[in-house]
């Protein structure tokens, strides 16, 4: 049995766009728009219209989450729901009331809200008018939205986050075509990377102006995908070093230290793709660092030296510096196609301890997506998801080792509480402790929910 610290936060994570459904929503975000115009681009043609019906069901769903041992819940406020006029920041009364009631209901159920402000959901209007994160002005509008959230809900929400997995926005929308606007433009991806870091800093600046106490914290949620080299050959090591710089350290250093790693700046400058930045902006990033880091971890990267010489390629893409490597024998979650490698959580804890001043962090997402869970329903209609329990346990063992060696890890939030809509997979892969029958919207605790409750009540991992 392993014991976690008494004040360790046990929770779950979800997002507005993946749970609420589009009910009573004033504006569309880019996913809503993309679905409206090209539904076949989505798995089984299923979009975010209903999601897990959280907008209508939260008063029933939150007590179920409580039963599943969820004492902290991260979700997000949708910019496209809260704000009526993006330029002035005027709120939509129905949107403002929804989030206010939701937060109250969380607190009534003893669930502490952790609130995120961007979970991939750029308002379509801003994408169309400005190109979304391509234009730094959108960062100013985002800061205005963030400030409105702080003003409306800061009395009840103590933990705030500017972005969830901003790197995925860059990858999806500007490199590999899985988020709208589906561009493939390496240099633009580099600029958007910078613009998002700047937008986060601008939101943090608003936060600092509003909250001067120790109780409120602001952070960012990063998907850390440690890159492991195929071999110790110099070319493979160099590929892994680049992948770590581009995917991990660029984001970590900007958030925690307010600077960008010199090595990546040099590589991007040598490649002729370094972003456009002013000294004033860099000063703002420098002074607007975070208090708490959220780490999403699902899978590592395995990389090798690129097959083609970077210099022989016409168009710049970050992957001119590395190729992915399908390591033989790695353990896979076959349904999702992601490698299962729990030790990376320990490696992340060591990286944060040794290279980032043992900065405070928590696991803000980790989980196992499994398809056709009806296969595992027992006679009583309960999903016997032992695979999920084993997955969580294996990751927590490595996390516990990290903590016992001094890692400053404050909590573990599972993805997710209730099965919800996934960007690319709709409902194919289920992650929840609670099953959602999407035809009836009936929600039922899975076996893992009872196991998780015991864990969160006792802090003891069996």
52 forms part of the interface with ligand BGP (CB under 6 A):
no
Alpha-carbon gap, residue 283 to 259, rounded angstroms: 9
Among 226, 223, 173, 215, smallest CA distance to 195 is for 173
Q: Kindly state the helix (H) or strand (E) to which residue 435 belongs, with its residue range.
A: strand 434-437
123 has which bridge partners? 29
* Binding positions for ligand BGP, 258-317, rule CB under 6 A: 296
Within 10 Å of residue 17's Cβ, how many Cβ atoms? 25
Residues 6+ apart with CB under 8 A from 372: none
Q: Could you give the 3-state DSSP secondary structure of residue 113?
A: strand
Minimum CB distance to ligand BGP, residue 406 (Å):
28
Among 167, 163, 165, 171, smallest CA distance to 145 is for 163
Site string for ligand BGP, 90-129 (x = CB under 6 A): ----------------------------------------
Residues 6+ apart with CB under 8 A from 193: 166, 167, 170, 250, 275
78 forms part of the interface with ligand BGP (CB under 6 A):
no
How would you classify the pairing of strands 112-116 and 159-164?
parallel
Minimum CB distance to ligand BGP, residue 136 (Å):
24
Whether the link from the prior residue into 416 is cis, omega within 30° of 0, is yes
Alpha-carbon gap, residue 429 to 373, rounded angstroms: 9
DSSP string for 65-76: HHHTT--EEEEE
Alpha-carbon gap, residue 215 to 186, rounded angstroms: 40
423 forms part of the interface with ligand BGP (CB under 6 A):
yes
425 forms part of the interface with ligand BGP (CB under 6 A):
yes
In the bound state with ligand BGP, the residue whose beta carbon lies nearer, of 168 and 305, is 168
Minimum CB distance to ligand BGP, residue 278 (Å):
31
- Candidates 294, 306, 369, 432: give the one binding ligand BGP (CB under 6 A): 369
- Candidates 57, 134, 319, 365: give the one binding ligand BGP (CB under 6 A): 365
Minimum CB distance to ligand BGP, residue 91 (Å):
25
Binding part of the chain for ligand BGP, among 58-66, 204-212, 353-361, 417-425 by CB under 6 A, reads 417-425
- Candidates 424, 437, 457, 462: give the one binding ligand BGP (CB under 6 A): 424
Alpha-carbon gap, residue 44 to 164, rounded angstroms: 26
Alpha-carbon gap, residue 58 to 11, rounded angstroms: 16
Q: What distances in angstroms separate CA 10 from CA 65, 404, 411, one per listed residue?
A: 12, 17, 6
15 forms part of the interface with ligand BGP (CB under 6 A):
yes
In the bound state with ligand BGP, the residue whose beta carbon lies nearer, of 169 and 303, is 169
197 forms part of the interface with ligand BGP (CB under 6 A):
no
Which residue in 125, 241, 281, 365 is the catalytic one?
A: 365
> What is the separation of C-alpha 458 from the centre of its chain, rounded to a whole number of angstroms?
27
* Binding positions for ligand BGP, 212-251, rule CB under 6 A: 223
42 forms part of the interface with ligand BGP (CB under 6 A):
no
Which residue in 165, 241, 281, 373 is the catalytic one?
A: 165
* Binding positions for ligand BGP, 135-164, rule CB under 6 A: 164
- Candidates 61, 125, 147, 165: give the one binding ligand BGP (CB under 6 A): 165
Minimum CB distance to ligand BGP, residue 114 (Å):
14
415 forms part of the interface with ligand BGP (CB under 6 A):
yes
- Candidates 195, 225, 244, 422: give the one binding ligand BGP (CB under 6 A): 422
Binding part of the chain for ligand BGP, among 4-12, 204-212, 324-332, 416-424 by CB under 6 A, reads 416-424
- Candidates 225, 429, 448, 456: give the one binding ligand BGP (CB under 6 A): 429
Whether the link from the prior residue into 171 is cis, omega within 30° of 0, is no
Alpha-carbon gap, residue 182 to 189, rounded angstroms: 11
171 forms part of the interface with ligand BGP (CB under 6 A):
no
Among 310, 318, 308, smallest CA distance to 185 is for 318
Residue nearest to ligand BGP (CB): 422
Task: Let me know if 365 is a catalytic residue.
Answer: yes
Task: Let me know if 125 is a catalytic residue.
Answer: no
Q: Could you give the 3-state DSSP secondary structure of residue 36?
A: helix
The encoded tokens of residue 186 equal 């390496």
* Binding positions for ligand BGP, 318-337, rule CB under 6 A: 336
Alpha-carbon gap, residue 295 to 413, rounded angstroms: 10
Binding site for ligand BGP (CB under 6 A): 15, 18, 164-165, 168, 223, 296, 336, 365, 369, 415, 422-425, 429
Catalytic residue annotation? 165, 365
């Amino acid at each position: 049995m392993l014991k976690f610290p008494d004040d360790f936060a046990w929770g779950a994570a979800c997002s507005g766009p993946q749970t609420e459904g589009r009910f009573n929503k004033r504006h569309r975000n880019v996913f809503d728009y993309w679905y409206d115009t090209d539904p076949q681009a989505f798995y089984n043609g299923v979009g975010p219209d209903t999601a897990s019906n959280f907008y209508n069901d939260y008063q029933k769903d939150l007590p179920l989450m409580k039963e599943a041992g969820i004492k902290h819940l991260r979700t997000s406020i949708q910019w496209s729901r809260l704000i009526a006029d993006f330029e002035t920041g005027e709120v939509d009364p129905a949107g403002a009331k929804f989030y206010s009631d939701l937060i109250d209901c969380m607190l009534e159920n003893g669930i502490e809200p952790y609130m995120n402000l961007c979970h991939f959901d750029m308002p379509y209007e801003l994408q169309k008018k400005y190109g979304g994160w391509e234009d730094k002005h959108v960062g100013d509008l985002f800061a205005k939205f963030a400030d409105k959230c702080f003003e409306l809900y800061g009395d009840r929400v103590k933990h705030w986050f500017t972005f969830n997995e901003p790197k995925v926005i860059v990858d999806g929308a500007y490199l590999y075509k899985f988020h709208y606007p589906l561009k493939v433009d390496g240099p633009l991806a580099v600029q958007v990377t910078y613009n998002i870091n700047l937008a986060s800093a601008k939101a943090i600046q608003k936060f600092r102006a509003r909250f001067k106490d120790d109780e409120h914290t602001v952070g960012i949620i990063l998907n850390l995908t440690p890159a492991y080299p195929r071999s110790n050959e110099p070319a493979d090591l160099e590929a892994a070093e680049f992948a770590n710089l581009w995917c991990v350290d660029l984001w970590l250093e900007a958030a925690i230290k307010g600077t960008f790693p010199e090595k990546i700046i040099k590589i991007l400058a040598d490649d002729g793709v370094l972003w456009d930045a002013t000294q004033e902006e860099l000063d703002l990033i420098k002074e607007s660092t975070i208090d708490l880091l959220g780490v999403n971890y699902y899978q590592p990267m395995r990389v090798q030296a690129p097959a083609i010489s970077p210099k022989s390629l016409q168009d710049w893409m970050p992957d001119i510096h590395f190729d992915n490597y399908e390591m033989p024998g790695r353990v896979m979650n076959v349904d999702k196609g992601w490698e299962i490698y729990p030790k990376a959580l320990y490696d992340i804890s060591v990286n944060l301890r040794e290279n980032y001043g043992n900065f405070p962090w928590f696991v803000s997402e980790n989980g196992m997506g499994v398809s056709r869970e009806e296969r595992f329903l027992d006679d009583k209609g309960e999903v016997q998801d032992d695979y999920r329990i084993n997955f969580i346990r294996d990751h927590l063992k490595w996390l516990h080792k990290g903590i016992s060696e001094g890692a400053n890890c404050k909590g573990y939030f599972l993805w997710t509480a209730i099965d919800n809509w996934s960007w690319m997979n709709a409902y194919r892969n289920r992650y929840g402790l609670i099953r959602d029958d999407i035809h009836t919207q009936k929600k039922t605790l899975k076996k893992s929910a009872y196991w998780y409750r015991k864990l969160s009540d006792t802090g003891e991992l069996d």
